[in-house]
Structure 1
């Protein structure tokens, strides 16, 4: 039978077929390795789409200024400048930014210089014949080496996208740390004010008990009461002083906590003791905004980790394809250092270099499976952050409303308790009532005063928590927003 193609024509075809078979064999199977998790959106966590048309709460990026306390403003500013944890977040951001530069370098040609000057003893029983075999020679090489990876399959591009996603996540983490730090300083400051107000209540109670003791002693001296009432009245004084000491301890601990947050020991030493009534309520509309997921830096960080993991999976897939490089070198090489730069010692080479994975023992599939699992983990971490964010806002809204109702009821209860106590003291002084009625009324008044302070502090803490839950006034940088749009287009 006559061949369909002559021998000279069949050779290139056979070479091409062999190359194609090698390519197909080298591109290992990536099938059945896919992520299983999916991202949650606003509707899936109960944020109604029609909420977008509602007036939503706006939080200023310096929301703590709304409290109108200059000392608090100073403490927050100092914390944002000097807190060690915030500096750690900034260092992580700088490290991530450096990773972008390293990834971008992979797209550029690489050139390095080489200078080798060696003295070598050649074997007499090897491939080198005499007079080279058995001699000792000086070998010199001086050349430039260059290589350039041709990114046909997007290996370098996906590596850059991974680094960019990680950098944006680190930047959002740093912003989230700022929001958290400011809220922690404000909360610690409110606690300091709460303990100061509680101390004022305790001191007022102690003074009140001292006045009552004086009354009891006068009545005992007049023979109107017994020593029992005097002992009962005297027993309240040590108890009142013990409460004052306990509150002084709590005040010291609150100040230490603020010093640590600010990053400056003794920062609160020169400050005046704050009072709860010196802090103005900040205006926050208690509703869950439709764009909540875009207002929080921690959610943005989780979303960028999803983008980075998505690019990492794409990069793992490029490992299955050939790696094509242009390589070249030019320089001099000679036997004998004196011959190195003479005519005839020149050497050069240029051409493509292709590396193709043929058998990797499952390494590439295992790597892809691991990166896909990382993507699933990143998606579920994002989903958890979304759910936590919605819960935090709902909790703060519910607490704000409940505390407001409790304050109204407590104010009425305290007014009644104060009136009952005044009447009990007047009746006791007039001999119309016993001292047990005074003690009972005093206990009720003391509890109501403490409750009033606690509710005032809770109202302020709830406002701090709501400001943080709504994102603390954070807005994504314009460049990150644009990059997110491009990532979403590539990875729907």
Structure 2
């Protein structure tokens, strides 16, 4: 039994040359640097990939919501389960390198009729066998099994990176939706304040109209402004409710009542100075690009599988144990039995099937190359767009703040002149509309800045890892 086993292991060591093409990473189809925007962050600043999401998002309420989403989001659960499934498939495939052995016990009893026996008499024969059997085991001389293992391994790695990419997307989506909810709250607050001011203006005009001091034109103008602001208030209430519903969907359930207090857009503690680095850095930082490359490598291994189909397939079966015609003789001296049965299958004519399969594998690799390059181009544009916004958004916010200050002063002066009877209410109305619009634009600009920082953080490959746990030490 030892001699056949040693022979099998020796042959297994000789097998394993691969017919898959040597993998070479395609050149990135983008420029070597991002378009000029603003001064880069200091080189000493940590890269986005090195910053855990708990460090980038400093708002305690947002941190709690992201943690809940990572625990509860169903799409992320499916991604994690897919990783476990492909990992199990890889564990199955890699066992093909090792012969399997089964303990077997067989018995049979057979009767042969008299006309089939040379003696002319019917005979009954027995056969009993106990031992260890090796089912069909393929010697991988041409790398088919190795290519199958490499293919499943790359699929597993691609699935794991796809999970990390889904995790990054979820964190980014929760952050942006949380910021949208904060913006909706601030817009709603301003709309209520404007509605109260419009109500006071209407009440004042109603009093002066009833006293015969002002005309009905001023009264109806104030009434129109009041109803317009009320309509805007209802719209903002609707948008706020929808934003909360969207956030609850991402989190995976209703928002808990014990969340930390909400912050505001003006004081959100996000890291603003993220070094962009070079486009080549994205190849290792972004999990979606890594997933696309692993898929490409799996397609490359599939070519090796298709090429191996043109060559002979060598398989072995073996058995070692005892055999006897009588059950009682299985363990007697001289009952040892073994068999060793190699087989070779050589494809001779397959109607072009193997050639077509190889052509399909090569085409699939070219498809994956195109997808890989497209993923890189998309990542490059996401970073470039975020950098372009970052270069000008602070200027926009400063301009909007100055606009709000000017609009507020204009409204105060207009209201004073109206109260003094110098101007009519139309002047107040125009000033109030300008102030309301300027305040809403400032909120949108602040939201755009924070959303862009979040998008840049994700585009640069940050957000898929957790912060390292803090280890308590004793003095």
Instruction: Check whether TM > 0.5.
Output: yes
Counterpart check, 1:426 vs 2:412: no
Counterparts in 2 of 1:31-70, with a 5 A limit? 40-42=26-28, 44-48=29-33, 55=43, 58-59=47-48, 60-63=50-53, 65-70=55-60
Q: Secondary structure at 2:101's aligned position in 1?
A: strand
2:201 corresponds, among 212, 215, 220, to 212
Structure 1 unaligned residues grouped into runs of 5+: 1-29, 476-492
Q: Give the CA deviation at 1:119.
A: 5.3
Partner of 1:103: 93
Q: Give the CA deviation at 1:364.
A: 1.6
Q: Give the CA deviation at 1:101.
A: 1.6
1:229 corresponds, among 218, 226, 240, to 218
Q: In 2, distance between residues paired with 1:394 and 1:132? A: 93
TM-score by length of 1: 0.80
Residues matched between the structures, number: 440
Q: In 1, distance between residues paired with 2:121 and 2:457? A: 82
Q: In 1, distance between residues paired with 2:118 and 2:227? A: 107
Q: Secondary structure at 1:113's aligned position in 2?
A: strand
Do the aligned partners of 1:296 and 1:470 also contact (CA within 8 Å) in 2? Answer: yes
Partner of 1:152: 141
Structure 2 unaligned residues grouped into runs of 5+: 1-18, 466-475
Q: Give the CA deviation at 1:228.
A: 3.2
Partner of 2:472: none
Q: Secondary structure at 1:353's aligned position in 2?
A: strand
Q: In 2, distance between residues paired with 1:106 and 1:198? A: 63
Partner of 2:473: none
TM-score by length of 2: 0.82
2:167 corresponds, among 147, 159, 178, to 178
Q: In 1, distance between residues paired with 2:71 and 2:306? A: 40
Structure-2 change in CA distance of 1:130 and 1:91 (3 Å): farther
Q: In 2, distance between residues paired with 1:79 and 1:406? A: 33
Q: Give the CA deviation at 1:250.
A: 2.1
Structure-2 change in CA distance of 1:443 and 1:143 (3 Å): same
Structure-2 change in CA distance of 1:131 and 1:107 (3 Å): farther
Do the aligned partners of 1:330 and 1:349 also contact (CA within 8 Å) in 2? Answer: yes
Counterpart check, 1:327 vs 2:313: no
Structure-2 change in CA distance of 1:250 and 1:208 (3 Å): same
Q: In 1, distance between residues paired with 2:46 and 2:31? A: 18
Q: In 2, distance between residues paired with 1:474 and 1:47? A: 25
Structure-2 change in CA distance of 1:362 and 1:224 (3 Å): same
Partner of 2:400: 410
**1:65-90 Cα distance to aligned partner (Å, 9 max, x none):** 33421001111122222322222111
**1:290-328 Cα distance to aligned partner (Å, 9 max, x none):** 422221111011111111211121122122222223432
Do the aligned partners of 2:101 and 2:133 also contact (CA within 8 Å) in 1? Answer: yes
Could you say what the CA RMSD is over the residues aligned between the two structures, in angstroms?
A: 3.3
Q: Give the CA deviation at 1:332.
A: 4.8
Q: Give the CA deviation at 1:330.
A: 2.7
Q: Secondary structure at 2:340's aligned position in 1?
A: strand
Q: Give the CA deviation at 1:120.
A: 5.0
Partner of 2:11: none
